[in-house]
Amino acid sequence: MIEQLIFGGIYNQNNNSDLSYTKDYGITIKFHQKKQLDEIRYKMNITCSKKAGSLTWEVTLNKTALYVNNKIPDFLKPRLDLKFGTGVLYPITVMVSPFGTIKNITGTSYSSIIDRFKYFKEKTLQENSGDAILNYLNTLEKGINTQKKLIDYLMYDWFWALYFNPIYNNTTKELLLPLRANVSAVFYEGKIEEKIYLSYYNTRQRIFSGKVSNTYFEKYSSTKRQNAAITLCYDFDPTNGVITNISSDQVILENQNILQNIEVSIDQLSKNEN
């Protein structure tokens, strides 16, 4: 019989023990759009811990080594985006349910993020001036002025969207995932399947194949001929149930022509790769 998976590992190992572990993941996101390929790479350090008798995990994340097309951005706004998206928002600590969904950001962590943003805003205004910069900073500030807004913002990141979702719930029929940049996430309808046998790589695998409902695209004349689909593959360590790899392949089509293809690879790093 296959042991039940929950966030953080195998249920029987998690239930009655204090547990803590740290993992490093390398993330690659490839955006294929209008005959152009853009690639984002970064690392995510994750520490997960829980108390005996509880299935809620405390997860601390730190995002580093962010590169766009293999370099640090040259222009001001992308460079500020990078500083905000690493030095301000991270480290961050969240509480996570057994099904993998975020319950909240810890109060201490959220307060630290707000303090780091205040410093970031002050330093940026010391080095730059003008309405454009001020409007940019004010927009960022509004986007994180509540925990809910900050969580919603972070879920635009493909790592967050894939790592924190209810892939562990066998009854799940839809997953909330990104569609396009700067567009709210949408539900992909499908089903979760777990392979009975270990994969070629000696991992347990869960697969999700889903499509966005046609009614979503039919609401607008500019998208009524479009459709979107996604295929996810999760690899779990067979001994403890911790995620080792995630792959995602999302495609948006219009009249069978590819408008957008986003490929995401999340790979657990060995000590030599850190």
Q: For residue 139, what is the domain's CATH number?
A: 2.30.230
Range of the domain at 117: 5-273
In the chain, % of residues over pLDDT 70: 97
pLDDT band at 107 (very low <50, low <70, confident <90, very high): very high
Residue 14 confidence (pLDDT): 66
Asked if residue 50 lies in contact with residue 19, where contact means CB atoms within 8 angstroms, the answer is yes
Q: Which of 141, 152, 225 is nearest to 185 (CA)?
A: 152
Is residue 69 left, alpha or beta, with left meaning phi > 0 and alpha meaning psi from -120 to 50? left
Q: Which of 183, 182, 173, 179 is nearest to 209 (CA)?
A: 173
**Per-residue pLDDT tens over the stretch 146-174:** 999 999 999 999 999 999 999 988 888 99
Rounded mean pLDDT of the chain?
Answer: 91
Name the domain count of the chain.
1
Torsion of CA 98, 54, 16, 20, to 10 degrees: 80
Asked if residue 73 lies in contact with residue 82, where contact means CB atoms within 8 angstroms, the answer is yes
Neighbours of 101 (CB within 10 A): 14
| Residue appearing with tokens 């991992």 | 203
Q: How many CA atoms lie within 13 A of 166 on its CB side?
A: 15
**Per-residue pLDDT tens over the stretch 199-255:** 878 899 999 999 999 898 888 888 888 999 999 999 999 999 999 999 999 999 998
Rounded Cα gap, residues 3 and 211, in angstroms = 29
Task: For residue 237, give both structure tokens.
Answer: 């360590």
Task: For residue 168, give both structure tokens.
Answer: 């562990």
3-state secondary structure string, 70-100?
CECCCCHHHHHHHHHHHHHCCCEEEEECCCC
Q: What is the DSSP string of 104-147?
A: EE-HHHHHHHHHHHHHHHHHHHHH--SHHHHHHHHHHHHHTSSH
Higher pLDDT, 260 or 13: 260
Q: Which of 93, 230, 105 is nearest to 162 (CA)?
A: 230
| Residue appearing with tokens 């998206």 | 85
3-state secondary structure of 155: coil
Rounded Cα gap, residues 43 and 60, in angstroms = 14
pLDDT of 274 over the 60 cut:
no
pLDDT band at 197 (very low <50, low <70, confident <90, very high): confident
3-state secondary structure of 213: coil
Least confident of 30-34, 84-88, 138-142, 158-162: 30-34
Residue 8 confidence (pLDDT): 84
pLDDT band at 108 (very low <50, low <70, confident <90, very high): very high
Residue 84 confidence (pLDDT): 94
Task: For residue 118, give both structure tokens.
Answer: 């205040």
Higher pLDDT, 169 or 94: 94
Least confident of 35-39, 161-165, 260-264: 35-39
pLDDT of 13 over the 90 cut:
no
